[in-house]
Chain A
Amino acid sequence: MKVFGYTVLVLFLVPLQVVFVDRISLFGIRPDLGLVAVCLIGLYTGELDALSAGFVIGFVQDLFSGGVLWGNLFLKPILGLIAGLASRNLVNLTWVFAFSLIFSLSILSGTVMYVLKAFTGTGASLFLAARDIILPQACYDALLGLALLKLLQRWRAFRTPETELSYE
Chain B
Amino acid sequence: MISLQTIAGGKRAVLLLLVFLAVALLLLPESRQESLQVIGRPMAAVIAVPLRAMESANQTIDAFVNRYLALQHVREENRALRQHIARLQEENASLRETAVAATRLLDLLELQDQLPYPTVAAQVIGRDPTNWYRSLVINKGRKDGLSADLGVVTPAGAVGRIVKAYDRFSIVLLLNDLNNAITGLVQRTRDEGIVEGTEKGLARIKYLPLLSTVKVGDQVVTSGLAGGFPRGLPIGTITKIERREAELFLSAEIALDADFTKIEEVMVITAPRENAQISANPFARQPAVPVKPAGEAP
The verdict on A11 contacting B47 (CB below 8 Å), with A64-B171, A124-B199 known, is: yes
The verdict on A65 contacting B130 (CB below 8 Å), with A89-B2, A124-B178 known, is: yes
Minimal beta-carbon separation of B172 from chain A (angstroms): 8
The verdict on A74 contacting B25 (CB below 8 Å), with A88-B6, A113-B132, A117-B132 known, is: yes
Scoring A19, A60, A120 by chain B CB atoms within 10 A of each residue's CB, the highest score goes to A19
For chain A, give the interface size range. Answer: 35 or more
Cβ A89 vs Cβ B15 within 8 A:
no
Tell me if B252 counts as interface (CB < 8 A to partner A).
no
Cβ A64 vs Cβ B43 within 8 A:
no
Of chain A, the residue at the smallest CB distance from B163 is A66
Tell me if A161 counts as interface (CB < 8 A to partner B).
no
Considering only residues 204-240 of chain B, those with a C-beta below 8 Å from chain A are none
Tell me if B285 counts as interface (CB < 8 A to partner A).
no
Q: Kindly supply a per-residue 1/0 record for chain B positions 130-167, scoring 1 wherever the CB is within 8 Å of any chain A CB and 0 otherwise.
A: 11111101000000000000000000000000011010
Q: Which of A48-56, A96-104, A147-155 contacts B (4 or more CB under 8 A)?
A: A48-56
Cβ B43 vs Cβ A60 within 8 A:
yes
Cβ B131 vs Cβ A34 within 8 A:
no
Cβ B33 vs Cβ A70 within 8 A:
yes
* CA–CA, A72 and B129, complex, Å: 11
* CA–CA, A64 and B179, complex, Å: 16
Cβ B173 vs Cβ A66 within 8 A:
yes
Tell me if B81 counts as interface (CB < 8 A to partner A).
no
Tell me if B113 counts as interface (CB < 8 A to partner A).
no
14 pairs across A/B with beta carbons < 8 Å? A18-B129, A21-B129, A32-B131, A34-B129, A65-B128, A65-B133, A66-B128, A66-B171, A66-B174, A66-B179, A77-B19, A117-B178, A124-B199, A132-B199
Which positions in A face B, CB cutoff 8 Å? 11-12, 14-23, 29-30, 32-34, 47-48, 51-52, 55, 59-74, 77-78, 81, 85-86, 88-89, 113-114, 117, 120-122, 124-125, 128-129, 132-133, 137
